[in-house]
């Protein structure tokens, strides 16, 4: 769904009204509404990549809950580091895996080594860098201190 499409011209006012007027008294419901509508908006562009966004959201949300609920600074740091590793791994996979495959295939061919490495034709999810870095940074510093 493009921002200048008819679909968005309908989607945005409906979500605006639901958010500000229908759910204005319940912050939890507003957050759920924003999450579901964001998934819908994202799926409109390419529904096949939606599981990546949902998985990222769930893992970062779980890491955030674990960080919030523990009082041990070492455990907080561990969950922060695991979340960062996961986010960067997803980003590297989608943005650079084809590059690495093609690079090593060419490199091995120059030395006469026959490989059967072929590009995976990975589709890069729309906005993966934005939402991954947004999830990594969030509103607070990645490693929490009390």
pLDDT at 141: 43
For residues 2 and 41, what is the distance between their CA atoms, to the nearest angstrom? 9
Q: Are 83 and 63 in contact (CB under 8 A)?
A: yes
For residues 27 and 33, what is the distance between their CA atoms, to the nearest angstrom? 10
DSSP three-state, residue 124:
coil
Structure tokens at 103: 């690079």
pLDDT at 138: 64
Q: Are 117 and 104 in contact (CB under 8 A)?
A: yes
Tell me the DSSP string of 45-108: H-GGGHHHHHHHHHHHHHHHHHHHH---HHHHHHHHHHHHHHHHHHHHHHHHHHHHHHHHHHHH
Structure tokens at 116: 């059967």
Q: What is the pLDDT along the chain (146 residues), one digit of tens a residue?
A: 677 788 888 888 999 888 888 877 888 888 889 899 989 988 887 888 888 889 888 988 898 899 999 999 999 999 989 988 988 898 888 888 888 888 888 888 899 888 877 766 777 777 778 777 777 776 554 444 44
Cα(first)–Cα(last) distance of the chain, in Å?
42
Q: Are 95 and 61 in contact (CB under 8 A)?
A: no
């Amino acid at each position: 769904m493009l921002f200048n499409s008819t679909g968005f011209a309908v989607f945005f006012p409906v979500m605006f009204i639901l958010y500000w007027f229908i759910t204005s008294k319940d912050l939890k419901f507003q957050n759920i509404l924003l999450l579901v509508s964001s998934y819908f908006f994202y799926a409109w562009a390419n529904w096949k990549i939606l599981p990546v966004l949902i998985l990222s959201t769930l893992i970062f949300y779980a890491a955030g809950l674990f960080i919030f609920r523990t009082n041990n600074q070492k455990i907080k740091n561990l969950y922060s580091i695991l979340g960062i590793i996961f986010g960067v791994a997803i980003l590297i996979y989608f943005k650079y895996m084809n590059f690495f495959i093609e690079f090593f295939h060419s490199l091995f061919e120059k030395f006469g080594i026959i490989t059967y490495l072929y590009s995976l034709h990975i589709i890069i999810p729309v906005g993966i860098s934005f939402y991954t870095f947004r999830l990594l940074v969030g509103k607070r510093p990645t490693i929490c201190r009390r």
